[in-house]
Amino acid sequence: MHLLLIEDDPTMQTTLQRTLRRRGMEVTPITDGGAALPAWRKLEPDVVVLDLSLPTMDGLEIIAQARSEGLATPTLILTARGTVGDRILGLNSGADDYLAKPFDLDELEARIRALVRRAQPLVAEPAAPSVAPGMALRYDKTSESFYWRGNLFELTPREVAFLRVLSQPMGQAVTKERLFSAVFAGESDVQLEAVEVVAYRLRKKLAPTHMQLMTLRGLGYLLKPGAADGA
């Protein structure tokens, strides 16, 4: 596993490098936010772990720009900013997980490995997709990936989990609590409202597919086909 570590505190960086390398991970350290994106593009790591308070470029800016460029690498934020608002802001910027300082190193390792496991289907060799008749958006059960018009539909692991629950079967309301359990399994420090952040990002990505992600007040969410896309 290749991990890109973006952390400017020398003590923290040294501790994390030593610990994670000892646990079988290849770690590339970056201390300056301005060097983060070039390294991310060049190295194509399996996971990115970064602080928010960085010189030159803030961590949230790094994540937002990476996502806008299509860099879908699982990303975990490490920061002293631990309020609910900060966590939601980080997730809304495109992060996949959030761990507030101080943290337990065993928990950090577990979260990193969980992120990489969830991301594996996105890079798996695709099998023949199972196609919903008349739909250009397809779900492949073997690789657990979504495809649109024959191409891999770029989603974060959280978005894949969210969309998978809503599409099996499609057209049925799913409660926010059930979606939370699927998307944030085992993450006790994340609030229920984080589901809304994932829904907001996914709704924007679904726009070209003409699928409608509907919010049902008091019930949850529902996915249904919209106008035909001509595929």
Q: Give domain status of residue 68, yes or no.
A: yes
Dump pLDDT digits (tens) for 180-200: 888 887 777 788 888 899 999
Q: What is the DSSP string of 21-87?
A: HHTT-EEEEE--GGGHHHHHHHH--SEEEEESS-SSS-HHHHHHHHHHTT----EEEEES--SHHHH
Instruction: Please tell me whether residues 19 and 59 are part of one structural domain.
Output: yes
Q: Which of 96, 122, 148 is the last residue of a domain?
A: 122
Provide the domain count of the chain: 2
Q: Which of 99, 122, 145 is the last residue of a domain?
A: 122
Instruction: Please tell me whether residues 151 and 176 are part of one structural domain.
Output: yes
Q: Give domain status of residue 188, yes or no.
A: yes
Q: Which of 75, 103, 122 is the last residue of a domain?
A: 122
Dump pLDDT digits (tens) for 35-71: 999 999 999 999 999 998 899 998 889 999 999 998 9
**If 0-12 CB within 10 Å is exposed, 13-18 middle and 19+ buried, where does residue 82 land?**
middle
Instruction: Please tell me whether residues 116 and 215 are part of one structural domain.
Output: no
pLDDT-wise least confident of 5-14, 69-78, 79-88, 131-140 = 131-140
Domain extent, residue 110, equals 2-122
Q: Give domain status of residue 230, yes or no.
A: no
